[in-house]
Chains A and B, each alone.
Chain A
Amino acid sequence: MTGDLPRWVDLGLLPLANLAAALLISSLVVLAIGIDPRAALAILVHGAVGYPEAWGYTLYYATNFVFTGLAVAVAFHAGLFNIGGEGQAYVAGLGATLVCLGLDALPGFVVVPLAILAAAAFGAAWGAIPGWLQARRGSHVVITTIMFNFLAAALMTYLLSNVLLDPTYGSPETRRFAPHATMWTFSELAARLGFQAPRSPLNAATLLALAAAAFVWVYVWRTRAGYALRTVGASEQAARYAGIDPARTVIVAMAISGALAGLMPVNEVMGSQQRMVLAFTGGYGFVGIAVALMGRNHPVGVCLAALLFGALYQGGSDLAFEISTINRDLVIVIQGLVILFCGALENMFRPALAAFFSRAKAPA
């Protein structure tokens, strides 16, 4: 009983305590290079949520994290640690790009859904192979998903510099997608509805991310397949007893996980860049692990954690821009500290809080 915490402490206070600890250490780092941490924090917060464009960027970054965070969360419920979100998203970008470039003779309402499906399918396949290897061949998915990240990177570098390269342009990237074969940006949507919105990469993929979060909740907690998935995650023996095939469930879970990670390029490639560039995944797949951990593998938690990381990304770039002594690397240090405290050390304050709350409850 000692490990049980009230729900609001587990889901609210504990993450906040971790975040506070991360910011405290970050302040010390900032102080060490001679900058007032309060001023830096003010710029960070203002840069993340202080003006309309900032909100656009924050939400755009958050969208990437929702997809990759959900991918980790779904796999986690099946007892799997999918750290291949990066590679799954990368390969999924290929699926989206092939449709957007190859089928752009078709009208937008056909090509865009097809591209989204292709992205999900490519991501699913790239996730399902490690799933299959674990289920049927006993290779641990942690190992294989890492290896598949490298395979994806090598494959995509080859394709982008040899096959999909836009020859009129110098860097390894594809030609720009036709305007109708991209996601609607938020400013376009706003213009259609008759009001002015600030320019930002925010696009309709954010709505898709919310839909994906809803899907994950329904799938995991309201379907028979989700029940089977959670049973396998909790106890493989119990699953076998219940007549659930753990191998099949593992493959399906990894496919769904890969598909969710695979939706990330819908935001990044089809929405923001509107072409595929080298290494567009930019580590979002790895940050998704921290997002899922911090969000307690629950879709609502993942969305909130993604918002936090989105704000850190956006506020961090403003910080690097405003204060010349704070460069991009220091911002990464701050983000790294947040990941460290919210992810790797997420249980650091748990024993103390558990002791405090059991003492508070005990004299009954």
Chain B
Amino acid sequence: MEGVAALALSGVDKRFGAVHANRAIDLSVAPGSIHGIVGENGAGKSTLMGVVYGYYRPDAGSIRVDGTPVDIASPQDAIRAGIGMVHQHFMLVETFTVLENILLGAEGGALLARGEIEAREGLARLMAEYALDVDLDARVADLDVGAQQRVEILKALWRGARILILDEPTAVLTPQETDRLFALLAKWRAQGRTVVLITHKLREILAITDRVTVMRRGAVVATLETARTSQDELAELMVGRRVLLRVDKRAAVPGAEILRAENLRHVDVRGVERLRGVSFAVHAGEIVGIAGVSGNGQSELVETLAGLKPLAGGTIVYKGARLGPPGTADAARAVRHAHIAHVPEDRLRMGLIASFAARESAILGYHEDGELGPGPFLDPDATRRRTARLMAAFDVRPPLPDLRSGSFSGGNQQKIVLGREIDRDPDLLIVGQPTRGVDIGAIEFIHRRLVALRDAGKAILLVSCELDEILSLADRILVMFDGRIAGELPRAGADEKHLGLLMAGSAAA
């Protein structure tokens, strides 16, 4: 690395109460490079970037941009210093047009007209230069996520960003959209600009970055030349021990049909048809994976199967008999009594209750169980015993049944939910986004438990937006697009490109 660093942090330290989020961070990003930052959830990546972008004041340490010390007290200061940020959750006003969103906060006067004319010219130039085509007059709500992300990038460019920070930019993209984004970043690098890429996907780090910094528990553990490292090395650095990234599993031995969905349709409260005739089957002893960009009907599919949302048409056949209509007051209970377990994708809103003790979250859905107390009463000791058993079986740390559910890490919360559902020996497990917000060590554990359940002859329906997860777990893959099954592939015949085309709705795959 020669010359002055585009962005240099030295000794950045930040505490939130008792949490030491960043410990004396030193980081140097070379100009004209793509610098990756990896680390598990809670490693301090987002806090660090929040410090750089002016959301938080560091307790100690300094920031230099192109060698000049800068005092960044707010995002305005960061923008002035030439730093732009694209958040994981877009900061766009959905009801505004693209142009209005880009001008927001940079209107250039009390009257919009003049700023708008200037902006149109400048933006046209930027869009041509970077192959960033978006319709400036389209409403943001009408754009797909890939286009919304381009709006965010355009917004940062328009404000003169020379250093662009991207926080988990590929979480919502199809593989093709990801390729497109990376091509853009490469072009940017060729022009001498600088990119900081925060991600948890190690493959992307290897594909695009020049150097990579690994964070663990608030500290930098290593900065490496990307060309001289590997996924396994990075994973080990992130977790602090060796991890098995691939799931070893035997070929599936599918048995009898357990679940058959026939032409399922669902219309949401706003009258939008979310499921438009979905049909498929799941057999005992196999994992059927449902891939797709989030928002294409997967959540609705899971929730109708679990009894939570009503069907506008179609039937659900379970073990040869029709299941009662979902969406009624008793449906979820009936589904559970039929030995169908459901690990919901929204863990914190549905899977458990953050303010409850773990022992209370661990009986969610099963509070009527006879063994938990006499008659109408719940015996806290009985729930504590059950939870302690689950925690031991699923390696939940810390194993404290009386600790508040919200105080556990994402991975341990998920183990509580998964443990609770698997413990009932279900014949069918419906699981949505099992490893969202879960650290690598726990991902490994959760994947192994799912495969073990399959090997025990149970049927599993897995919905995930992580293609890697689908590819490593599923025996058959269905791709959802726009409320329909866009295609089905056996695991052996599936590759990322093929899946990506299906996910993007190109039926010609």
List the interface of chain A (C-beta within 8 A of B): 1-2, 218, 222-228, 230-231, 234-235, 237-238, 240-243, 245, 247-248, 358, 361-362, 364
Contacts and interface: CB of A to CB of B under 8 A. Distances in A.
Contact of B17 (A225, A247, A362): A362
B351 A238 contact: yes
B355 A234 contact: yes
29 contacts: A2-B16, A222-B380, A224-B373, A224-B376, A224-B377, A224-B378, A227-B360, A227-B367, A231-B367, A234-B353, A234-B356, A235-B353, A237-B350, A238-B352, A238-B364, A240-B308, A241-B364, A242-B332, A242-B364, A242-B365, A242-B367, A243-B336, A245-B330, A247-B329, A248-B329, A361-B17, A361-B18, A362-B15, A364-B18
Given A238-B352, A364-B18, 16 more contacts: A1-B16, A223-B376, A223-B378, A224-B373, A224-B378, A226-B378, A235-B349, A235-B353, A237-B346, A238-B364, A240-B308, A240-B332, A241-B308, A242-B365, A248-B329, A358-B18
A218 B378 CA distance: 10
A223 B18 contact: no
B376 A243 contact: no
Contacts of B377: 218, 222-224
Contacts of B17: 1-2, 358, 361-362
Contacts of A238: 349-353, 364
Contact of A241 (B18, B329, B332, B380): B332
A76 to B, nearest CB: 13
B19 interface: yes
Contacts of A223: 376-378
A241 B344 contact: yes
A241 B421 CA distance: 12
A362 B373 CA distance: 41
A218 B306 CA distance: 32
Rank and list the top 7 A-B pairs by shortest CB-CB distance, nearest first: A243-B333, A358-B17, A245-B329, A242-B365, A243-B332, A234-B353, A241-B350
Nearest to B380: A222
A228 B363 CA distance: 11
Given A242-B365, A362-B15, A225 B376 contact: yes
Contacts of B329: 245, 247-248
A20 to B, nearest CB: 26
Contacts of A230: 356
Nearest to B328: A245
A2 B365 CA distance: 31
Contacts of B365: 241-243
B368 interface: yes
B266 interface: no
A247 B368 CA distance: 18
A216 to B, nearest CB: 15
Interface residues of B, number: 35
A241 B378 CA distance: 20
Contacts of B372: 224
Given A227-B367, A230-B356, A241 B376 contact: no
B384 interface: no
B368 A235 contact: no
A253 B350 CA distance: 21
Contacts of B342: 241
B325 to A, nearest CB: 15
A257 to B, nearest CB: 19
Interface string B367-386: 11000110011101000000
Nearest to B353: A234
Q: Could you say which of B308, B355, B378 has the most chain A C-beta atoms within 10 Å of its C-beta? A: B378
Contacts of B355: 234
A282 B320 CA distance: 64
Nearest to A243: B333
Nearest to A2: B17
Contacts of A358: 17-18
Interface in B271-301: none
A243 B364 CA distance: 9
Contacts of B332: 240-243
A247 B16 CA distance: 40
B346 A243 contact: no
A218 B355 CA distance: 19
A1 B378 contact: no
Contacts of B349: 235, 237-238
Interface string B13-41: 00111110000000000000000000000
A227 B373 CA distance: 12
A118 B352 CA distance: 39
Contacts of B350: 235, 237-238, 241
A242 B333 CA distance: 7
A228 B372 CA distance: 14
Contacts of B330: 243, 245
A81 B336 CA distance: 32
Contacts of B351: 238, 241
Interface string B298-341: 00000000101000000000000000000001101110100000
A224 B364 contact: no
A248 B333 CA distance: 14
Nearest to A225: B376
Contacts of A364: 18
Nearest to A357: B17
A183 B27 CA distance: 77
A1 B353 contact: no
A338 B353 CA distance: 33
A75 to B, nearest CB: 17
A121 to B, nearest CB: 20
Nearest to A361: B18
Nearest to A364: B18
Contact of B364 (A2, A231, A245): A231
A316 B372 CA distance: 49
B378 A231 contact: no
A363 to B, nearest CB: 10
B166 to A, nearest CB: 28
B353 A224 contact: no
A62 to B, nearest CB: 29
B364 to A, nearest CB: 5
Nearest to B20: A362
A124 to B, nearest CB: 18
B378 A222 contact: yes
A317 B353 CA distance: 46
B393 to A, nearest CB: 21
A231 B336 CA distance: 18
A242 B352 CA distance: 10
Contacts of B346: 237
Q: Pick from A225, A228, A231 the residue with the most CB of B within 10 Å.
A: A231
A234 B361 CA distance: 11
Contacts of A235: 349-350, 353
A223 B380 CA distance: 10
A101 B509 CA distance: 83
A235 B364 CA distance: 12
Contacts of A362: 15, 17-18
A364 B349 CA distance: 33
B394 to A, nearest CB: 19
A135 to B, nearest CB: 11
Contacts of A224: 367-368, 372-373, 376-378
Contacts of A247: 329
A231 B378 CA distance: 14
A234 B330 CA distance: 20
Contacts of A245: 329-330
Contacts of A218: 377
Contact of A228 (B308, B336, B352, B367): B367
Nearest to B19: A1
Contacts of A243: 330, 332-334, 336, 365
Nearest to B336: A243
A225 to B, nearest CB: 6
